[in-house]
Amino acid sequence: MSLTPPSPSRRSLLGGAAATFALAATAAGAGTAAAHTRPTRPGGPGPGRPGHPSWPTEFPLPDGFRPEGIAIGSGPYAYVGSLADGSIHRADLRTGEGSTVLAGATGGAATGLKLDHDGLLHISGGVSGSIRVLDTRTNRLTATYRPTTTGFVNDVILYGDRAWFTNSYAPVLYTVPRGRGGRRGDLREVPLGGEWEQAPTGISANGIETTPDGRALIVVNGPAGKLFRVDPKTGHATLITLRGASDVLNGDGLVRVGRTLYVVQNRLNLLTAFDLDPRARTATLRRSITDPRFDVPTTAARLGDRLYLVNARFTTTPTPETTYNAIAVPLR
C-alpha cells in the first residue's frame, strides 16, 4: 500500500530486461459490494487444474471497492480486501464471480491478507490500526487485535506458528499466533533495528515475505526502494544487495516462489522478479514484467502458474462508482 505522490520517471531499473505480457481479456462491469459480480468471460469453470487456460485472466471487483490486498489458498478462491471500509470480497477464480463475505464499516480498512491452511484469513487493518482473523468457513471473525503502537498495519506473512505484520508508520513488526487456539493477548511487537531505514513521516515498511531458507523475513521499504532481511527474533535488519537493478522504488506486495521473489512496484505499474540466494543476502534481477492492464497494482497472490494482482488505481480519484478489477499474469 502506498500513499505517496506519483514517483518520477524510472532511472535505470529496466535496462534491457523488460518483457511485456499482453493477455487478451476484457473486464465486465462490476456490481455493488453486496451483490455478486459477473465473470469477465462466458462459459463454465473448465477443468479443475489451477490456472487452467479457460479460467478468466481478468475479473471485476465491486464498484467503489478500492482493493488493496489479495490472498489465495489451495482452492480456486481469491479473497480481496477493501481499503475503503475493511470489507472482504471472495471471487471464484474459475468464473470471476464473487460476493462480499465480510461487511465493511466506517473507519475500517483491509490491506494485506494471508489465508492459512486451516481456512483462517489474517487481515491487516491499515489506518484502522487493527489486526483481524476471519474464519472463511463460517465468515465470522475469530479474533481482533489492536497493537499499542499506533500506525498503519500494512501487510502480513505466515511464518512458523505465527502471522507477521508490517507497520508502515513505525519501525516495528507485529506478530500474532496462527491457528484456532490463539489467544487475544498473544500479540507481540518486535522493533526493527540494524540497518533499517525509517522515514520521519509517511510510509516505510510495506510488503513482507520469508527467505528461501526459512530462517528470516524479507521486508520492502517502498519509498527508499530497498529490500531488507529481518531476523524475526531480534528485529535486526540487514540491507539486501540488489544486482542488475538500482532499487525497488514503490515496492509494495511481495510474493516468493522458491528462490524467486516478485516485487509489485505499484505506481510504476511494474512486477519485478529477482533471484535470491538461500539466505536472501542478495537479489539478482531476473526480469521485469509490464502489462497494459496494470493500473497501480499493489499486491499479488499465486495460484498454479499464475500471479493474480489487484489494481488499486491510486492515480484515479475514488468515488462510489469507480470501477476496479483483478488481473492474472503468467509465471514464466
Task: Decide if 8 is inside a domain.
Answer: no
φ and ψ at residue 129, rounded to 5 degrees: 70, 15
pLDDT tens, residue by residue, 288-325: 999 999 999 999 999 999 999 999 999 999 999 999 99
Task: Decide if 4 is inside a domain.
Answer: no
Task: Count helices and strands (H / E) in the chain.
Answer: 0, 27
pLDDT averaged over the chain?
Answer: 87
Task: Decide if 36 is inside a domain.
Answer: yes
User: Above 80 in pLDDT, residue 251?
Assistant: yes
Task: Decide if 302 is inside a domain.
Answer: yes
Q: What CATH number is associated with residue 171?
A: 2.130.10.10
pTM of the model: 0.85
Task: Decide if 3 is inside a domain.
Answer: no
| Pairwise CA distance, residues 11 & 33, whole Å | 40
| Pairwise CA distance, residues 113 & 25, whole Å | 25
**Mean pLDDT confidence for 29-45:** 35
- Dmax (CA) for the chain in angstroms is 54
Task: Decide if 124 is inside a domain.
Answer: yes
pLDDT tens, residue by residue, 168-210: 999 999 999 999 865 556 899 999 999 999 999 899 999 999 9
Task: Decide if 10 is inside a domain.
Answer: no
Q: Which of residues 171 and 73 earns the better pLDDT score?
A: 171
Domains identified in the chain, total number: 1
**In terms of Cα–Cα distance, which of 294, 247, 231, 307 is closest to 266?**
294
**Residue 55's pLDDT band (cuts 50, 70, 90):** very high
Looking at residue 36, its pLDDT comes to 35
Per-residue DSSP letter, 266: G
**In terms of Cα–Cα distance, which of 270, 255, 192, 180 is closest to 225?**
270
Task: Decide if 6 is inside a domain.
Answer: no
| Pairwise CA distance, residues 12 & 49, whole Å | 39
Which range of residues forms the domain containing residue 203? 18-42+51-330
